[in-house]
Amino acid sequence: MRVLEQELRVNPFGSNKNKASEENPEIEIKLDGFVHEVFLEYQKLKIEEGLNYDIHILKLKLNTLKPAEIDQILQKITKSTPQQKLTHRITGYFISKLITDSYLSHYNNFVLNNGNMPLDYLAFWLQGRSDDLIQLTIHGNVKDFCGYKLKNTTLVIHGNAEECFVVNSCYSQVTLLGNCGNDCGYQSEHNTITILGEIGSRFGQESKHCTYRTLFPKTYAAIVEKVPLTNTVQLIDMNGLVLRETKK
């Protein structure tokens, strides 16, 4: 039997102060043998020029982990990995692979505590089913290409997203409780994307049949100006009630 030593200390409806990572920075993350084997596989990964990391990592045969164990692995990685490798896309690919394998084994409701280290390619190529969406919440800021090729997923980010957030994604429900950088939603289709912050340039370019939602009139006006035809933009209140709508 696998014993989870992790206790989630983050309220998913609270602030994005990343308490789980900041309150006890000196605590060593202990993994049992089954989970530690997966961590060792991550340690074996090297940054190599010309390697197709996405294909290589997606083909790895790894132990299937429960959602809380995946967050344990992330905590261990962020506390013990040199920054060059930690911020390389290897890390985001690896965590996304663990989520995919876990979901395919009928686990769901994933929560990641990203701490103070935004990572590239988190939620990479997550492909849920239309009758059973992947549920993923991330506490903390994310870096580039978070949610790349996302499909049939509910993604909630308690933080900011940098470049290329949820590009090439479809049929997903996305909520960003912060600001997004450039090229958010590029070539996305049939998504509902709620942004509770400011947006960068080229927002929603080449997207189709998406609904973009925000609480703020300034952001609403900016989205209406930027997104192309076939999309809908909504100004909502705190309860999700639509106050104003523009169909393009």
Give the Cα separation of 121 and 148 in Å (integer).
7
The set of residues, in sequence order, having a beta carbon less than 8 Å from that of 34 and lying 6+ positions away, is 2, 63
Structural contact between residues 247 and 230, judged by C-beta atoms closer than 8 angstroms:
no
Beta bridge partners of 195: 176
Give the Cα separation of 216 and 236 in Å (integer).
8
Q: Say which residue the tokens 């300034």 belong to.
A: 218
Q: Provide the residue-wise pLDDT of the chain in tens; the chain has 248 residues.
A: 333 333 333 333 344 433 333 334 445 677 889 999 999 999 999 998 888 988 899 899 999 999 999 999 999 999 999 999 999 999 999 999 999 999 999 999 999 998 778 999 999 999 999 999 999 999 999 999 999 999 999 999 999 999 999 999 999 999 999 999 999 999 999 999 999 999 999 999 999 999 999 999 999 999 999 999 999 999 999 999 999 999 99
Question: N- to C-terminal Cα distance for the chain?
Answer: 55
